[in-house]
Structure 1
């Protein structure tokens, strides 16, 4: 049914305004918004909807308390407790949710139209979209191998593992019982493939191929978001997100170690080498491929592909070039600073979420691969010193990233919380 003009927001009931706030909070959470940005966005929207709201966010729950400022304190208090799964980055739906909220506040939509527009975001993914995501998994894994200048066989094995992992992850979405164990299962599979190839075909950079295969599942972004939330005094959310990220790394490591143990038990002896022979042009091609793959995996709109790809490539190049001159820590810090400021500038200029630039801009900087490599070194070598060195490496990356994010927001403050 079409309407000639939106009903003024002032005519919306108190219950309907609360309903919209709850719907907005759930969607921002599910689409990957961190606690401090989600709460700040909700406070701004609540003010425009003439509501008093006290939001509390964690990776698995929301608590929202509302009251009507036109009534006496306590007379209209309403509290909603919402249990949710951890969110995942979906830049298209995040941008659409932001657009709907802005249109509602501007009077271009009424609440009924806003709810209808949000419901339209829940359409199941088409087979084409699912196939693209599977290809994205494979392309990212192969591209990371190219960025590391691995031999062609290593790149091919990583790409094959990535494609298969993409299929596993699509199947797991419709099978709740397998979700808890899917990380360990795919890690077992990727490791088994690498062991078999290294045993019967040709030597591989074994651990590096395994990490490249699992790169999309590594929680580097979650670790970074967790530290960012802790730095913003969102202690409960940051601690919970950090624990979830560490648990994911442990599940992946368990899968890898099980496959290595079984291979040793049956007498397989994979040939391991350390060889990175590729010319420089392979790295450039891999960077372009990785940027395209992340645009697919972050589910951005087609019109946002150039911005997302440019952001992913720019973050990597700034980190790489500055790192060669002044050290890796300085490179990561400056890349995070530049991409945070660029995201805030994009939000001001285009009136759309800065996450479209900020998230892909730091994705190739996050310490997911370093955390898994460190845990594998610790378990394989049974050496505490190796684990300490790896932990320090992850901490150094996180500190540089968080410093860049904080100072990037100081350099160019955000006018939009998303």
Structure 2
């Protein structure tokens, strides 16, 4: 391998690694995937990935050339469309269908691509996901409507945060604060007796870091200690900021508009639970920027995860039911990889969100601080830990039973 070829290879690997990090790829998957690519390209490499940094060490077979690159990066956001296209590009390169120069140019095009769905559809997805989550939590029809409207307000704050660095730094607590104040105003003037804490939780559910906590624990279980610890701590800080903003907003709202006396509404019919899973998954397609050709797989993953959990919960504890759901989800996601030749992450994320570990954590934090439960949840603190461990264990067992063909 001559020096010019080595330089071209390591430039491509560095760009590929930064893009996969940007799209929210967990450390253990990112490092394994880059190692596979480097091996196919005929170089040796070692990688260290954390949520805020990425280090590359690349060398040729006999150490004629050696290269080290360290980059300080922002934590990535999930972008299933870009992840899918990047994986297809890497597969074409390794199959000899693309040259390195063509692949490098295509990577730049993918990185510059806007969202598939635009601002209007994504905003509607925010409102739909918050309303669907409220439905999943057993809210009444008016509470579902208010949750959806406040979800649209949360999306407006998200758009503002893209233009303002100060708003971006305070996005979670500010969004939760205004959701709390507006929920109190709705209770005072429009709909007395609503479940304010549940509406506030539903309106900010997109920001609740249940998925990040699960990913962090998965990284810890794979012995990625630095990345896993950093991701877990970052998720916990997000959770604390959300709760403080909601607590402050409700307190200010009560002082301005008066206390709210919650009056439980009539329970929704059983079919509403399955409708909420369907609507939540549809909304996540736009929020995660999933390609339309993967929509049936994403829908199937959500229903498989939820139905397996619901069925097993009749015979096991709820936390262990999450293990069965995660196991079924993992097997399905790995089967998706074998059939479609795409990263399992594309469909696995939809199923994990439906298992709602993040809301359990938020409810547990509310119970710990205030001593009050706003939904029926006995022993929620124990369930939070058991659910997270069950999710990670279920995915690990699924990888043993149905090994994935791809590192992603």
User: Is TM (by shorter chain) over 0.5?
Assistant: yes
User: CA 1:10–1:277 in structure 2 vs 1: closer, same or farther (change >3 Å)?
Assistant: farther
Instruction: Indicate yes or no: 2:90 matched with 1:101.
Output: yes
User: CA 1:161–1:40 in structure 2 vs 1: closer, same or farther (change >3 Å)?
Assistant: same
Instruction: State the match for 2:223 in structure 1.
Output: 233
Instruction: Indicate yes or no: 2:352 matched with 1:362.
Output: yes
After superposition, give the CA deviation of every residue in 1:304-350 in whole Å (9 maximum; x if it has no partner): 11111221122112112221332312321011011111111111111
TM-score by length of 2: 0.94
Q: Distance in 2 between matches of 1:104 and 1:126?
A: 25
Q: 1:413 deviation in Å?
A: 1.0
- Residue pair 2:188, 2:257 contacting (<8 A) in 1 also: no
Q: Distance in 2 between matches of 1:331 and 1:400?
A: 8
Instruction: State the match for 2:8 in structure 1.
Output: 16
Match runs of 1:179-190 below 5 Å: 179-190=168-179
Instruction: State the match for 1:63 in structure 2.
Output: 55
Q: Distance in 2 between matches of 1:216 and 1:329?
A: 22
| Structure 1 portions without partners, runs of 5+ | 1-8
Q: Distance in 2 between matches of 1:162 and 1:138?
A: 5
Q: Distance in 1 between matches of 2:220 and 2:407?
A: 17
Match runs of 1:252-267 below 5 Å: 252-266=242-256
Instruction: State the match for 1:4 in structure 2.
Output: none
After superposition, give the CA deviation of every residue in 1:54-74 in whole Å (9 maximum; x if it has no partner): 100001100111111143xxx
SS in 2 for 1:300: coil
Instruction: State the match for 1:371 in structure 2.
Output: 361
Instruction: State the match for 1:42 in structure 2.
Output: 34
SS in 1 for 2:47: strand
Match runs of 1:5-404 below 5 Å: 13-71=5-63, 75-123=64-112, 125=114, 129-200=118-189, 201-266=191-256, 268-381=258-371, 389-404=379-394
Q: 1:87 deviation in Å?
A: 1.1
Q: 1:126 deviation in Å?
A: 6.1
SS in 2 for 1:326: coil
- Residue pair 1:199, 1:271 contacting (<8 A) in 2 also: no
Q: Distance in 2 between matches of 1:312 and 1:376?
A: 27
| Structure 2 portions without partners, runs of 5+ | none
Task: Give the superposed CA RMSD.
Answer: 2.1
After superposition, give the CA deviation of every residue in 1:191-240 in whole Å (9 maximum; x if it has no partner): 11211222332211222121111111110000000000000000000000
Q: 1:370 deviation in Å?
A: 1.2
- Residue pair 2:130, 2:205 contacting (<8 A) in 1 also: yes
User: CA 1:413–1:373 in structure 2 vs 1: closer, same or farther (change >3 Å)?
Assistant: same
Q: Distance in 1 between matches of 2:363 and 2:270?
A: 24
After superposition, give the CA deviation of every residue in 1:94-135 in whole Å (9 maximum; x if it has no partner): 111111111111111111211221111233536951211111
SS in 1 for 2:289: coil
With 155-164 and 307-316 compared, the bigger mean Cα shift is at 307-316
With 286-295 and 370-379 compared, the bigger mean Cα shift is at 370-379
User: CA 1:53–1:366 in structure 2 vs 1: closer, same or farther (change >3 Å)?
Assistant: farther
Instruction: State the match for 1:3 in structure 2.
Output: none
SS in 1 for 2:383: helix
Q: Distance in 2 between matches of 1:128 and 1:340?
A: 27
Q: Distance in 1 between matches of 2:65 and 2:141?
A: 65
Q: 1:390 deviation in Å?
A: 4.2
Q: Distance in 2 between matches of 1:189 and 1:380?
A: 20
- Residue pair 2:138, 2:267 contacting (<8 A) in 1 also: yes
Q: 1:382 deviation in Å?
A: 9.0
SS in 1 for 2:206: helix
Matched length: 404
Q: Distance in 2 between matches of 1:78 and 1:365?
A: 43
